[in-house]
Amino acid sequence: MNTFRLGMKNAFRNVVRTTSVVLILGISFGLALVMLLSLNAVKSHIKDVSSSINNTITVTPAGSFGGFGGGGNPFSAKQLAEIKSVAHVTKVTSTISDRLSNTASSSTSAPGGNGFGGGGGSGGTTSLVSPITPGTIAKTIGGAGPTLPSGFTLPTQIYGTNDPSNPATLNATKFKLTAGSLIPANSSALVADVGTTLATKNKLVVGSTFSAYKKTFKVVGIFDVGTVTGNAAIIVPLKTEATLSSTNGPTSVVVKVDSIANVATTSSAIQAKLGKSVANVTSSESNAQTVVDSFSSIKTISLYSLIGALIGGAVILFLSMLMIVRERRREIGILKAFGSSNRNVVSLFVTESLTLTVLAGLVGSLVWVALANPVLGVLQSSTSTTSSGGGRPPTGFGGGGFVPRFGAIASDLHAAIGWNVLLYAIGGILVIALVGSAIPAYAIAKVRPAEVLRGE
């Protein structure tokens, strides 16, 4: 116990040197922790991306595009069975999508009649007003010229699905229920989950009602998927949408594959079963790989920076302790002359080294708090700038722009400390403290009391 206390006191014998070493070492530790957290965040995000995107296949009727384009027929029960029978398919999510014009807007006289120009939709109407502001794309497709007619609103997208919590239904990568509950997927009830921005725009809460297809729907849940178009949509049971829209089968199918490695072969097998004249089969493998490659650059930078910061910290502590041992050579000789063993003397310096390292760790934690997310944000923005062209096809019209998939995914990237990171940090501090005092300890063992005292 006396050795431990003396070692701690020795760490403060030279206040100026102690302060300098702790600050420099603390900055090194702080940068190492920032890079460790960045590396951990990127690894976790790559895993999420791979599990949510990489192993899915989208099947749409040939000639259709995102629910907005012309040809193609809904899939029949036989075709769905053929998809399910393909090897490695673990789940099939069926969706029927439609666009509902606002009741007031649909009666507005505008080019395009009751099509997109008159408020959109395929004949169905709703009391809800879309929260998305029309942009130049809406003007172009609506045939409205340079200006839109008075009272014009974009159509509200409605999805009937047998898997309401699947974000792929809304061309998103996440799904969070913020209030209420999910719709009963296999029922034909007049219930709906609505996006957060749509709910806010129309002052909807759980228990509110609205009209669609001239029927009254009850809001049972409110969700957030993190995209503009997704949060402006409605989700209803598949059977309900099929009946009200008079659609005799899904207009889109999302297939989940058991492994990323089987995505390509499964996609080809589904295409061969259905035929190119019936279906378009696309996998998100290439899109996900683009995102993963983009995050991999952050991972590489974080890894090398982490290694550099740790090596720098160990070198700083090693040189500091080596200098301290040389300065106290006479003191070491005297301690040995009075009977102190090499073990006791080494323990003094190891305790001193550990004290400096712990203090530096506290300073490093302050550096981490200040720099963790800003540094990750800089790395993320520099990567997304070069990867913005790798987004997926447009998820819908909103303000005249597209919503890139990379942006939606990268926006969730943030540094968060967990028990595993904390344990790594503590372990790193202990290792650096031991490494920093290892060679000085060897130098201590070589000090001979007789030689030291002879020189006095």
Q: Which of 101, 252, 117, 89 is nearest to 171 (CA)?
A: 252
Task: Locate 406 and state its tokens.
Answer: 């990379």
* pTM of the predicted model as reported, rounded to 2 decimal places: 0.55
Helix (H, G, I), strand (E, B) or coil at 166: coil
Backbone angles phi, psi at 199, to 5 degrees: -65, -45
What tens-digit pLDDT sequence spans the chain (456 residues)? 577 777 788 778 888 888 888 888 888 888 887 777 777 777 776 666 655 556 788 899 987 655 444 567 899 999 999 999 999 999 999 999 999 988 776 554 444 444 443 333 456 899 999 998 876 555 555 555 556 666 677 889 999 999 999 988 888 878 999 999 999 988 999 999 999 999 999 999 999 999 999 999 999 999 999 999 999 999 999 999 999 998 888 999 999 888 777 888 999 999 999 998 889 988 766 555 566 666 677 777 777 877 888 788 778 877 887 788 777 777 777 777 777 777 777 787 788 888 888 888 888 878 877 776 676 666 656 554 444 443 333 333 333 333 333 333 344 455 555 566 667 667 777 777 777 666 666 666 666 766 656 555
Report CA torsion sign: 148, 150, 154, 160: negative
pLDDT value at position 86? 94
Angle at 261 between CA 255 and CA 265, to 5 degrees: 60
DSSP secondary structure of 40-52? HHHHHHHHHHIII
pLDDT value at position 377? 67
Backbone angles phi, psi at 257, to 5 degrees: -105, 150
pLDDT value at position 451? 63
Count of beta carbons in the 10 Å neighbourhood of residue 291: 28
Burial label, 35 (beta-carbon count in 10 A; 0-12, 13-18, 19+): buried
Burial label, 69 (beta-carbon count in 10 A; 0-12, 13-18, 19+): exposed
Strand partners, 236: 160
How far apart CA 174 and CA 196 sit, in angstroms, is 14
* Long-range pairs of 15-24 with CB within 8 A, sequence gap ≥ 24: 17/320, 18/356, 18/359, 21/316, 21/317, 21/320, 21/356, 21/360, 22/356, 22/359, 22/360, 22/363, 23/360, 23/363, 24/316
Residue 50, CA distances (Å) to 32, 292, 360 in order = 27, 8, 38
Do residues 428 and 406 make contact, with C-beta atoms less than 8 angstroms apart?
Answer: no
Report CA torsion sign: 263, 258, 177, 95: positive
Angle at 349 between CA 348 and CA 351, to 5 degrees: 70
Residue identified by tokens 């505008």 is 110
Count of beta carbons in the 10 Å neighbourhood of residue 431: 14
Count of beta carbons in the 10 Å neighbourhood of residue 44: 13
Do residues 196 and 138 make contact, with C-beta atoms less than 8 angstroms apart?
Answer: no
CA 344 distance to own-chain centroid: 51
H or E, element range at 384: helix 342-387
H helix count then E strand count, the chain: 13, 11
Q: Which of 106, 195, 206 is nearest to 158 (CA)?
A: 195
How far apart CA 220 and CA 235 sit, in angstroms, is 10
How far apart CA 443 and CA 53 sit, in angstroms, is 57
Q: Which amino acid does the sequence have at 371?
A: L
